[in-house]
Structure 1
Amino acid sequence: MARVSLSRYLIEQQREHGRIDADLRLLIEVVARACKRIAIAIGKGELGGVLGSAGSENVQGEVQKKLDVLSNEILLEANEWGGHLAAMASEEMDHPHPIPNRFPKGEYLLVFDPLDGSSNIDVNVSVGTIFSVLRCPEGTVDPTEEAFLQPGSKQVAAGYAVYGPTTLLALTLGDGVAIFTLDREQGSFVLTSENLSIPADASEFAINMSNQRHWEAPMQRYVADLLAGAEGPRGKNFNMRWVASMVADVHRILTRGGVFIYPIDARIAKQGGKLRLLYEANPMAFIVEQAGGAATTGTERILDLQPTSLHQRVPVVLGAKNEVAKVAEYYREA
């Protein structure tokens, strides 16, 4: 059987299933090409002079790595001129990035975290790119921040790339999740699995245990019950895994199950959480739900949240449907 390239997959989604139009298809292909360029830069590592700090901070006050800046520039440059976008927004920039006037504009908005998990770059651990596509509000000629403030349920596509031993692209167009593997010799993404399904129950969880003392009471109780194992109230043993790269942790859940948790804690309560709603929580929640999982803040479905600012942060619990429901139960009881 012939291998199905990303381009062929997208054309079939457009032509045979009518799920996307030509502009969205071309937009996703451009994002995928940008991810290939980022993968090449990461693969060179020290040889490419791209490791270490860039000596600057992003809008969140986080020190930027050289690859943060490079990845952001790659995605901006690749997507500016195609005519598919009205504007872009990045975790690394204070304000939306308008399409230069010399280029045609399209009807879509692109939101991205150019390099998720960048603290892992210098130690050669998997990192990734997360992206989300929204429709530009009708009648909007020059999109401002307001145009991007749409609930996650309005996403028309979302995906992430994992730059690990192999480079993978996970993609949803709103009808299931497909995984593509980068064939380095051919230079193209090839479909390697589709219709992914996250088991409803889990025995593995991902959380940063070093923050435990700062968590709210419901999360303290929930994790304590997991750690109690077969002798505790849950009646079974759980394993913990934590990569500190959201794309790697979520990809593990997408492929073998589990639950990912980044709860609010006392130190970040004022900012609302750690992970960004538009750049991380919404696209990952969309992907996970399309694979049969669930995503919540602990009290609300993530995809129902109405964003209030471009860089809004939220608590995140996503993965196995029954385990996510169990976390929500702990919060309701509290």
Structure 2
Amino acid sequence: MVFSRYKGYTLLWPTTERQRTWHWSYPIILLSTVVNVALLYLWCSSRVPSPLDSYQHLNTQPLLNADALDALNDSPLTPDNAVVTSLYTDAYATAVATLGHSLNAANSTARRIVLYLPSQVSPRALCIASASGFEPLAIPRIEPPHGSKGVYHRFVDQYSKLRLWTLAEHDVRAAVYLDADTLVRQNFDELFRLPYAFAAVPDVFMDKKGFSLMFNAGVLFLRPDARVFEDMLQKIETADFPARDAEQAFLNYYYGKETLRLPYAYNANLAIKQRQPALWDDLWHETRIVHYTLFKPFLDDREREVEIRLMEENVESKLGMQGGLFDQEIREWAGAWRETRRIYGDAFDVCERRAAGRQT
């Protein structure tokens, strides 16, 4: 045979010894793998502390430069500005009415529009929501992409918010969008003079993401454009973004490099107070818009609609939550609600009577 000369070949290491060597190497390899995975996890999960996580009371300058603001005020706002909110369920009608009253109290000069889904909002709720000045505008619902797979159940209607970009058809050139769970504390008309196409406030999370580069979609500045809207509709089906947060996640990806990030005063998310109370204390006197993200004063403990006659009692029941951390903000909303009911109570009664008449 050709290979017969190798018949008596002896291995340098006996087979049994080689197997024994590899046997003892397995635990070492396994331990090394576990250690490397752990180190990789620690490296990936570690983050440099944000200056806001280590907030210090340093800057005492006002949010807006007085001279620049005076110059802006010399040129009156045009009538094609709008403050816009949305109503996808009856449970938020009283919140929209209270938001409208807070806009009146802040002397907002812009037109008011509430986008609503006619298939999901009753005439009674729409009547209440529009009592303080919002102009109702019915919109078709935008279905979440991929059959709503992965979308958090509370956000399934939120893609309809993209209809904001169609408001150019209704003579709106600049819009400030406010979620219904916001409350206006001071005038913010300066936003309408921004030269940018899109602006929002950075989001805040309670986990390791903390003070994030991502923005919160509860307060937005935008310039409506039908071409942008059509482009969005095409891309929500193909873009790769986290499904859970619905339109907010999509907008963060769509405007990832163009977003003008606004100061926290324009979207004072309650998560800021829970994460860094000292920052909140300094922010409060400059706050234009409060965002009730962590709880809704106008909903019951199961996030259901509260009757108008029981609203004040419901709001007061939330005092003391989390050791009273949010009592100031709860009382702020309660005060706005009392004023709203005092001024628009007769209009609310008309809404209720009309609804009762339709049921008989």
TM-score, normalising length from structure 2?
0.22
Higher relative contact order, chain-length normalized (CA < 8 Å, sep 6+) = 2
Q: Which has the larger radius of gyration?
A: 2
Judging by fraction of residues, say which structure has more strand. 1
Judging by fraction of residues, say which structure has more helix. 2
TM-score, normalising length from structure 1?
0.24
